[in-house]
Amino acid sequence: MVTGSRTELPRLVVAAPASGHGKTTVATGLMAALRRRGLTVSGHKVGPDYIDPGYHELATGRPGRNLDPHLVGEDTIVPLLLHGAQAGLRPADVAVIEGVMGLYDGQIGGDGFSSTAHVAGLTDTPVLLVVDISHASRSIAAVVLGMATFDPSVRIGGVILNKAGSLRHSDEVRRALEPLGIPVLGVLSRDDEVTAPSRHLGLVPAAERPGAAGSLDHLADRLATSVDLDAVMRLAHTAPPLSGPTWSAEEALVGGLPDSGPPALSLSGPRRPVVAVAGGRAFTFRYAETVELLDAAGCDVAVFDPLADSALPEGTAGVYLGGGFPEVHAAGLAANRPMLAALRTALGAGVPTVAECAGLLYLCRTLDGAPMIGAVPADAAMSPRLTLGYRRVTAGSTNLLTAAGTEVTGHEFHRTTVTPGSGAAAAWTWGDSVEGFATPTLHASYLHTHWAGHPALAARFAAGVARAARAGRPSTGVDGRPVSGARVVLGHMR
């Protein structure tokens, strides 16, 4: 409910003392259990992670969304929260925000910047603390006390005890917590059936797990019987109204457009240019706002599956290859020769293409020896070393996505290497490092960016797509036919 410039939004943050305590299990289970009660639930994730929001989407039936001050700026957090809660057929009755790492863990050297506590403070949201009690009893009270008093501005309004060994065990913890005045809202016993499988970069995405929906049903059952959902909602209702505007893709673009209006809308004729966005099991990572910004800039977004489809969507005038796990699906990607050929044809004809991380690997000549598109003169391979961290980068040249000197925030998260790591014109520079490949029609790098924080990137890409559409560049597959499985997710296909 909106009153003046203040919006009522019941909400809570699900946090933990550290990674591995069960935040994703509890947050996703709460979303599903509350939805079963007939509530419309908005799911959010602190930090840049793409995988957890996929589970949130499965639980809520709405896109999972990220809240990361590093990627989008502090002033954009509340507007994005309100946007996520109000988008869709009806506004959310409650927003559940899953934290990242430990409650106070954020950007290294940033004194908690971009931490769960930081976002809880920016959004004035009470915290529900999940604590794994499997290896302690009374000592859990000391942990909770420390979490509650470390920063008095953070309000921990309840605790969920996870992985209890027995009723006797959880009762011992409850008694130790009583003097703190922080209520226990639920107890979950150990249950292997609610554990999501993991691999080299964390949880296996929901889109790659055929049994994910069944596991979620079981999890919702567990939460409904083991957690006091009425108490959870009472806690969510203690969150005060939020002040400020709701984020809008159209309004965000106003400051980023290179001319007076949405660039793609300058086309004559009834059709808007199509941006083909990679999806399917190999490309599951993209922020919901990326698609919304492209739509607002005048493009239709059509999702295609590089593993299964044989050609690009009809009318493709731009390509967006986001994140995912092509290294897991390299053999399947290599085996889909019609799609590789279609993309080679499109990129060779100058169809504007943006690639982030997984997309970069797909554009290389090879990935772990398997042939890929070959649009980037480099080879990719798995690495034992994890590359993980926030970045603040500068565009070294004027190219498809940026003007020279543009500063952007982003993050990297991968266990692969690309050799060489950059082209004649690098996509980004930071410190003494250069990374990625950039031309007037291509931008490919490891860096993940959130375009809600940098809408000029979306505007510039859409302008390039509009130019390509006006020029009539080839846009169908190698066989000249549109892909039958393409799906328009936003826009106005006519």
At which residue do the structure tokens 């990361």 appear? 68
Tell how far CA 265 is from the center of its chain.
Answer: 28
CB atoms within 10 A of CB 241: 14
**CA–CA dist 33, 25 (Å, integer):** 12
**In the beta sheet, which residues pair with residue 3?**
6
**364: annotated active-site residue:** no
**CA–CA dist 327, 394 (Å, integer):** 28
**CA–CA dist 314, 151 (Å, integer):** 54
197 burial class (0-12, 13-18, 19+ CB within 10 angstroms)?
exposed
**In the beta sheet, which residues pair with residue 43?**
96
The count of C-alpha atoms lying within 13 angstroms of the C-alpha of 206, restricted to the half-sphere facing its C-beta, is: 21
Bridge-based pairing of strands 41-46 and 94-98 is parallel
**CA–CA dist 11, 406 (Å, integer):** 36
**CA–CA dist 29, 22 (Å, integer):** 10
Q: Which of 305, 387, 299, 296 is nearest to 342 (CA)?
A: 305
Catalytic residue among 130, 357, 358, 490: 357
420 prior amide bond cis, ω within 30: yes
Query: Using an 8 Å Cβ cutoff, are 400 and 406 in contact?
Result: no
Residue numbers annotated as active site: 357
